[in-house]
Amino acid sequence: MGVVPGVLPAVDDYLGLLRRIHEHLRPTTYVEIGVHEGASLALAAPGTRSVGIDPAPSVRPPLPPDTTVLQETSDAAFSGDELSRLLDGRPVALAFIDGLHLFECALRDFIAVERRCTPSSTILVHDCYPRDEVTSARDRTTVFWSGDVWKLVLCLAEFRPDLQVAVADVVPTGLAIVRGLDPASDVLCRPYDDLCVRFVGLGYDAVSEDKPRHLRLVPGDWPTVRALLTAWARSHAAPA
């Protein structure tokens, strides 16, 4: 069966949802942490200035023309002014965090990205709805492994109730969508070390009894996610 012109295919996984989000938001700037083979970075639409960050990328598909890959860690990329230069001084409109699968790294990346956003920007975080205890542990013992990035959702829910956070139920391990950002906030960076101590030691049993509620799961179909994005955008629209 062929693809009907003008009709997008169903969302089957996080890449399918990421493509839909790009096409819906049409961000002027896009930053991706954790490029790997480039499958997600290649989804940026024409007209988007994209920067990927990865210390050891192995890009396979052709990337959009207005795309740069910084071959360095995210800590290094955010410490200087090269990222700002590559974005022509503009804020980050859309970001996708898919770097090291550890809570403290995801939190650090989130803090750094939010500083470069606006209240209307969107941050996406991969691996926020784990399959099970073994594959969501901090130590990798399986071929498939998503790590403990899911703890970021718990952290944001408790310490940043001002944010709008939902985790779309897409394979393999969900996609968190965060809106209502505040680039001036220091609520996460000030107690960063204390947050790491608290959440790094948290066990899977903290969410296992009611994982959908604790991790703010919503259906991963496009109509549901589009409605969320639209509602959130309206709530942050400038008054007439």
User: What pLDDT tens digit does each residue of the chain (240 aa) get?
Assistant: 333 344 444 567 999 999 999 999 999 999 999 999 999 999 999 999 999 999 999 999 999 999 999 999 999 999 999 999 999 999 999 999 999 999 999 999 999 999 999 999 999 999 999 999 999 999 999 999 999 999 999 999 999 999 999 999 999 999 999 999 999 999 999 999 999 999 999 999 999 999 999 999 999 999 999 999 999 888 766 554
What's the pTM?
A: 0.94
What does the DSSP 8-state code read for residue 150? Answer: T
The candidate with the shortest Cα–Cα distance to 111, out of 188, 165, 34, 180, is 188
What is the arrangement of strands in the sheet containing 122-126, beginning at the earlier edge strand? 67-70, 49-53, 29-33, 94-97, 122-126, 175-179, 164-169, 217-219
14-235 placed in CATH 3.30.230.70: no
Domain ranges of the chain: 14-235
